[in-house]
Amino acid sequence: MVKMNFHDVQLEIDNSLATLTLNSPDTLNAFSRAVLQGIREALDHIEYGPDDVRCLIITGAGRAFGSGANLTEVQESSKADAPTRPIDVGAQLEELYHPLLRRFRYLKCPIITAVNGPCAGASVGLALSGDLIVAAKSSYFLQAFRNVGLIPDCGVTWLVPRLIGSARARELALLGEKLPAEQALEWGLINRVFEDDALMDEARALGQKLASGPAGQQFIRQAMWESVNNDFEEQLNVERQLQLKAGETSDFKEGVQAFVDKRKSTFTGK
């Protein structure tokens, strides 16, 4: 097992399963510059380091998954840089958040987000970046942006309507009310809800299944992301190209041979 500490972020890798834990519990894991830097460093290790990471779990330390942007830091930083001008929150999004969201979008391995408590503001965008989103029964989702005069960001206005429909998406954004985990499951925003004390065990069980899966999982992930905006013919072409790549993997050959031999496949992620 490999354990590393970055800026307010911990990374643990065990048998190709990585767990990235936001580790600023005093701020309910708010997105400070330190936390965002830590996420970048952890992703650098996952993507370019020596460990073979085949699934990533993201969760939060303490009693929250994340409370969104650290607004106190945003205000202080902006006043120091330009005390007489309005805060350009959009520029901060493009500089600090969007590059990370794009990295999660194009990450080759599947992502599980384990929402262990309150998940508010920009943290909702991170949670919904998961391919599988699991949550503790006591957790909730809150689009708190309207409470500070902003719009939902970090991909939330793109993701939420596609997951639960426009009417419910508008309701969450405009009213800024908490969405409990069990209702989020009922609406189709997340995949599974577990008892609080079982969340991480269940998330790791799912993660271990994905970490021992075939190389083709990265192409499944890519196909599902691309399908959102494609028409039928475009998606058939995507399937054609990605199936070609999947068919060239050693895991495809192993899967076919295991089927013929009537045994369980042993995938290597290659």
Tell whether 131 and 11 lie within a shared domain: yes
Residue 255 lies in a domain: yes
User: Tell me, what's the pLDDT at 78?
Assistant: 57
Tell whether 184 and 108 lie within a shared domain: yes
Tell whether 134 and 228 lie within a shared domain: no
Tell whether 100 and 118 lie within a shared domain: yes
Q: Is the pLDDT of residue 119 over 90?
A: yes
- Residue 72: band (very low, low, confident or very high) from pLDDT cuts 50, 70, 90: confident
Tell whether 202 and 164 lie within a shared domain: yes
Tell whether 231 and 196 lie within a shared domain: no
User: Tell me, what's the pLDDT at 89?
Assistant: 85
**Is the model's pTM score more than 0.75?**
yes
195-229: per-residue pLDDT in tens?
999 999 999 999 999 999 999 999 999 999 999 99
User: Tell me, what's the pLDDT at 225?
Assistant: 95
Q: What is the DSSP letter of 93?
A: I
* Domain boundary pick from 211, 232, 251: 211
Residue 268 lies in a domain: no
Q: Is the pLDDT of residue 100 over 80?
A: yes
Output Rg (C-alpha) for the chain, integer angstroms: 19
- Residue 76: band (very low, low, confident or very high) from pLDDT cuts 50, 70, 90: low
User: Tell me, what's the pLDDT at 61?
Assistant: 98
Whole-number average pLDDT of the chain: 95
**Total number of domains in the chain:** 2
- Residue 73: band (very low, low, confident or very high) from pLDDT cuts 50, 70, 90: confident
Tell whether 155 and 203 lie within a shared domain: yes
Tell me which H or E stretch contains 114. strand 111-115
Residue 42, Ramachandran bin (φ over 0: left; ψ between -120 and 50: alpha; else beta): alpha
Tell whether 108 and 238 lie within a shared domain: no
* Least confident segment among 40-49, 88-97, 136-145, 203-212: 88-97
Tell me which H or E stretch contains 126. helix 122-127
Tell whether 38 and 149 lie within a shared domain: yes
Q: Give residue 10's domain range.
A: 2-211
